[in-house]
Structure 1
Amino acid sequence: MSPTDLENYPRPGVTVDLAALTVVGVTSPSPQLSVLVQERTDPEPGLALPGGFMRERWTVDRTVADVLERKVGITVARDIPIRLLRVFDDPDRDERTWAISLAHAASLPENALAGAHGTLVPIGTDGSMPFDEPLLFDHDQIVCAAVESLRERYEFRHRYADTLPDPDGFLTEPFTLLQLRRVHESVIAQKLHKDNFARRMSNYLEPVLHDNGDPVLAENLRGRPAALYRRATTTPT
């Protein structure tokens, strides 16, 4: 096939759409899994995820970085993974043109989204959002896919399967076991048994200690003083 023959094949526009997830009020009694949405006027007024078309000869990674910096207005630390969810390719997903989306998700601590362009909105137990109208394009489906992927990393699916403490890093160290459990509950939208959770997490946490070996206790919290923990530097094999 010659290069000129390739011109006979139509080419879709390629976009990168990003579900930026966070837990709002991460140390509060009621943390809430949320996603960043933005107001749009094109192709019609409504809310959508931040996104953008790939420019000529750009890579996907460069386009993701451009969406974060230009559309969201933040710079993300290198150690925060940006995960490809899947391709959304309904030919009618964008009324302006034939476009496919390489949908991505990013889990960010709430302070990383300070000053971001847009609004953080809570996500329901079924992955939906509290709007009368759906997001533009197929962005509701992208949010659902992002939440499903996130929950797989936080749920206790099997008795002996490893579920790490807050694997996406919403919660800054140090933290109490109660704070950690509430973050997991906010992500999976289910209550967890206190003792079972502590037992499943115990091999992956280490207490914060004073120089004399006594545990450091959280201050300014209601109830009995609680020990502070950090993620263990070594985990069992």
Structure 2
Amino acid sequence: MTIPLEEYPRPSLTIDLAVFTVVDAGNAPQLCLLVQDRTDPTGRALPGGFVHDRETVAQTVSRVLATKVGIDGELPSPPRLLRVFDDPDRDDRSWVVSVAHSLSLPEASLRGARGDLVPVRPDGRLEHEMGLLFDHDQIVEAALAALRERYDFRYRFRDTFPDPDRFLPPPYTTRQLRRLHEAVVGARLHKDNFARRMSPHLSAVQRNGQPVMSEGMRGRPAALYRPKTNRSKT
């Protein structure tokens, strides 16, 4: 006898979003994560929501961004599928499986967003947070590791692009770019090694055949650069 599908136990399906930005990216960059207050249960958590009937996961991501975060319309960079978090005990209320995503946005895209931009410490912990609800700390850990992998050139040989997640609008100096990478990876980077690794992927901004220099910044004016073609879009 064939058992009807509705007779099988099944979990509820939800999506959770680790939304990163870099505050003051061009001057004193600080990597931050969007965290929200919530009730039922009460605590701090990532933005998220249950997948509705006949709704795709991608549609749920867009709906959560619009209704719970306050971001609607086209995004500078698309959400990245992180992985499935399916510990049966991850939510005390019910059996809930989360399809977690990460999303990187420039600071300007998060103006007016609901929630708090919480600084991410170099060790990966969130400043002034005592622990997020459910398994959201594990989601943050996985999302941060993936983000840092895209920016950190140390101990690896494959290319690292100038600003894979587009936190820093071009043009920028190599110092601005290096400080952005340092804010993301949570460590100091060797200046000369960084410049050498970035050089093949940058084009100097020119005007009338002359390099355009930075203005209104501390120290001596420095050359401004843009990423070459579309290779930084990963």
Report if TM-score (shorter chain) is over 0.5: yes
Q: Corresponding residue for 1:9? A: 8
Give the conservation status (yes or no) of the 8 Å contact 2:76–2:105: no
Residue identity over aligned pairs, in percent, reads 59
1:7 Cα deviation (Å)?
Answer: 2.4
| Whole-Å separation in 1 of the counterparts to 2:166 and 2:113 | 19
1:158 Cα deviation (Å)?
Answer: 4.9
Matches within 5 A, 1:5-44: 5-28=4-27, 30-43=28-41
Matches within 5 A, 1:40-119: 40-43=38-41, 45-75=42-72, 77-119=74-116
| Whole-Å separation in 1 of the counterparts to 2:145 and 2:47 | 19
Give the conservation status (yes or no) of the 8 Å contact 1:76–1:112: no
| Whole-Å separation in 1 of the counterparts to 2:99 and 2:161 | 28
1:133 Cα deviation (Å)?
Answer: 2.2
Q: Which amino acid aligns with 1:25?
A: D
Q: Which amino acid aligns with 1:10?
A: P
| Whole-Å separation in 2 of the counterparts to 1:188 and 1:93 | 28
**Residues 207 and 31 (structure 1 numbering): CA distance in 2 closer, same or farther, change over 3 Å?**
same
| Whole-Å separation in 2 of the counterparts to 1:202 and 1:192 | 15
Q: Corresponding residue for 1:120? A: 117
Q: Corresponding residue for 2:214? A: 218
- Tell me the alpha carbon deviations over residues 65-93 of structure 1, each in whole angstroms, 9 at most, x when there is no partner: 00111110012535512111111111121
Which secondary structure state, in structure 2, belongs to the residue aligned with residue 84 of structure 1?
strand
Give the conservation status (yes or no) of the 8 Å contact 2:80–2:101: yes
Which secondary structure state, in structure 2, belongs to the residue aligned with residue 219 of structure 1?
coil
Structure 1 runs (4+) greater than 4 angstroms displaced:
none
Q: Which amino acid aligns with 1:47?
A: R
Q: Which amino acid aligns with 2:214?
A: A
Give the conservation status (yes or no) of the 8 Å contact 2:19–2:33: yes
Q: State the TM-score, normalizing by the size of structure 1.
A: 0.93
Which secondary structure state, in structure 2, belongs to the residue aligned with residue 7 of structure 1?
helix
**Residues 224 and 122 (structure 1 numbering): CA distance in 2 closer, same or farther, change over 3 Å?**
same
| Whole-Å separation in 2 of the counterparts to 1:56 and 1:234 | 38
Which secondary structure state, in structure 2, belongs to the residue aligned with residue 104 of structure 1?
strand
| Whole-Å separation in 2 of the counterparts to 1:83 and 1:151 | 14
Which secondary structure state, in structure 1, belongs to the residue aligned with residue 34 of structure 2?
strand
**Residues 75 and 99 (structure 1 numbering): CA distance in 2 closer, same or farther, change over 3 Å?**
same
Which secondary structure state, in structure 1, belongs to the residue aligned with residue 207 of structure 2?
coil
| Whole-Å separation in 2 of the counterparts to 1:118 and 1:80 | 20
| Whole-Å separation in 1 of the counterparts to 2:124 and 2:81 | 18
| Whole-Å separation in 2 of the counterparts to 1:79 and 1:138 | 28
1:55 Cα deviation (Å)?
Answer: 0.2
| Whole-Å separation in 1 of the counterparts to 2:76 and 2:165 | 11
Which secondary structure state, in structure 1, belongs to the residue aligned with residue 17 of structure 2?
strand
- State the aligned residue count: 231
Q: Structure 1: which 5+ runs fail to align?
A: none
- Tell me the alpha carbon deviations over residues 86-123 of structure 1, each in whole angstroms, 9 at most, x when there is no partner: 11111121111110100000011110001001010011
Q: Which amino acid aligns with 1:227?
A: A
Candidates 197, 205, 208, aligned match of 1:208:
205
| Whole-Å separation in 2 of the counterparts to 1:136 and 1:184 | 29
Q: Structure 2: which 5+ runs fail to align?
A: none
Q: Which amino acid aligns with 1:221?
A: M
1:62 Cα deviation (Å)?
Answer: 0.2
Q: Which amino acid aligns with 1:18?
A: L
